[in-house]
């Protein structure tokens, strides 16, 4: 990786500022002053800024975030703030959401820089279960449980949805577990039975359960990370 890119990510400053710091002889690689931003570094190199070692990130990273409404799950959006706002980590732009939530959906988002790991969550063939708390506009009826279990015909889709588990909590609230992730899937499932989702909150992905306050994030435990690998 280029030294200026590394410094910009790890110090959280622009390439312009990085170049100023380089020119001011504030950066060393293996105790040699380096002034050129294009200098290539490896994971073995010891990089210091003003005599302090900058730890290189070599391990894969895994976090959970409790997403509030009004934030998009992509790292770059010109219209809306992104979930990157909440993530105070070096090279946060290298993290991606393993399964996105809509702008108005709240709850569990898993973030990682491990593409293989997130693939196990999002790829249809892995059938990773996601559980949502759903609030709806019209009263729920027991007959929906069988309909959701048998599969629904979504607008514009060829196949029925895979078997889903609906647990009715109250007249207007249910918990739904699905094992696929089509575009706006939960909202479209309720639309298919003539209802309308007014609030949607993801509680669980696989066996990883949301346990932090809205707007907070934390690293996943070893056990949580492995729970996806072992699926």
Considering only residues 64, 101, 225, 228, which one is a binding residue for ligand URA as defined by CB under 6 A? 101
Compute the distance between CA of residue 156 and CA of residue 109 in angstroms, rounded to an integer.
Answer: 27
Helix (H, G, I), strand (E, B) or coil at 87: coil
Considering only residues 94, 119, 126, 184, which one is a binding residue for ligand URA as defined by CB under 6 A? 184
For residues 149 and 230, which CB has a smaller minimum distance to ligand URA in the complex? 149
DSSP letter at 125? G
Tell how far CA 131 is from the center of its chain: 15
Compute the distance between CA of residue 153 and CA of residue 204 in angstroms, rounded to an integer.
Answer: 25
The answer to whether residue 112 forms part of the interface with ligand URA (CB under 6 A) is: no
For residues 2 and 187, which CB has a smaller minimum distance to ligand URA in the complex? 187
Closest CA to 195 of 133, 130, 141, 129: 141
Residues contacting ligand URA: total by CB under 6 A: 8
Which is it for strands 173-178 and 197-205: parallel, antiparallel or unpaired? unpaired
The answer to whether residue 102 forms part of the interface with ligand URA (CB under 6 A) is: yes
For residues 66 and 105, which CB has a smaller minimum distance to ligand URA in the complex? 105
Residue whose structure tokens are 């949301």: 210
The answer to whether residue 109 forms part of the interface with ligand URA (CB under 6 A) is: no
* Annotated active-site residue in 45, 102, 113, 114: 102
* Residues in the chain, overall count: 231
Stretch that binds ligand URA, among 78-86, 138-146, 164-172, 178-186 (CB under 6 A): 178-186
The answer to whether residue 113 forms part of the interface with ligand URA (CB under 6 A) is: no
Q: In the annotation, is 211 catalytic?
A: no
Which is it for strands 62-67 and 173-178: parallel, antiparallel or unpaired? unpaired
Q: How far is the CB of 178 from ligand URA (least distance, A)?
A: 8
The answer to whether residue 204 forms part of the interface with ligand URA (CB under 6 A) is: no
Stretch that binds ligand URA, among 35-43, 84-92, 180-188, 203-211 (CB under 6 A): 180-188
Give the DSSP H/E element, type plus range, for residue 64.
strand 62-67
The answer to whether residue 83 forms part of the interface with ligand URA (CB under 6 A) is: no
The answer to whether residue 105 forms part of the interface with ligand URA (CB under 6 A) is: yes
- DSSP-assigned states of every residue in 204-215: EETTEE--S-TT
Return the C-alpha torsion angle 81, 84, 85, 90, nearest 10.
Answer: -150
The catalytic residue positions are 102
In the complex, the residues that contact ligand URA under the rule CB under 6 A are 101-102, 105, 184-187, 200
């Amino acid at each position: 990786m280029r030294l200026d890119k590394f410094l910009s990510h790890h110090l959280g400053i622009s390439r312009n500022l990085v170049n100023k710091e380089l020119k001011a002889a504030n950066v060393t690689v293996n105790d040699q002053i380096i002034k050129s931003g294009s200098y290539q570094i490896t994971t073995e190199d010891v990089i210091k800024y003003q005599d302090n070692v900058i730890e290189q990130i070599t391990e894969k990273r895994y976090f959970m975030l409790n997403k509030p409404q009004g934030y998009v799950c992509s790292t770059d959006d010109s219209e809306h703030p992104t979930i990157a706002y909440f993530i105070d980590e070096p090279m946060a732009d290298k993290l991606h959401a393993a399964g996105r939530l809509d702008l108005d959906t709240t709850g569990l988002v898993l973030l990682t820089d491990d593409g293989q790991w997130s693939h196990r969550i999002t790829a249809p063939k892995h059938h990773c279960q996601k559980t949502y708390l759903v609030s709806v506009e019209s009263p729920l009826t027991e007959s929906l449980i069988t309909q959701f279990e048998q599969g629904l015909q979504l607008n514009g889709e060829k196949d029925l949805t895979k078997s889903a588990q609906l647990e009715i909590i109250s007249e207007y609230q249910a918990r739904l577990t699905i094992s696929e992730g089509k575009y706006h899937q939960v909202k479209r499932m309720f639309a298919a039975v003539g209802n309308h989702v007014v609030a949607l909150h993801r509680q669980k992905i696989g066996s990883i359960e949301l346990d932090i306050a809205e707007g907070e994030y934390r690293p996943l435990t070893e056990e949580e990370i492995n729970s996806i690998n072992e699926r």
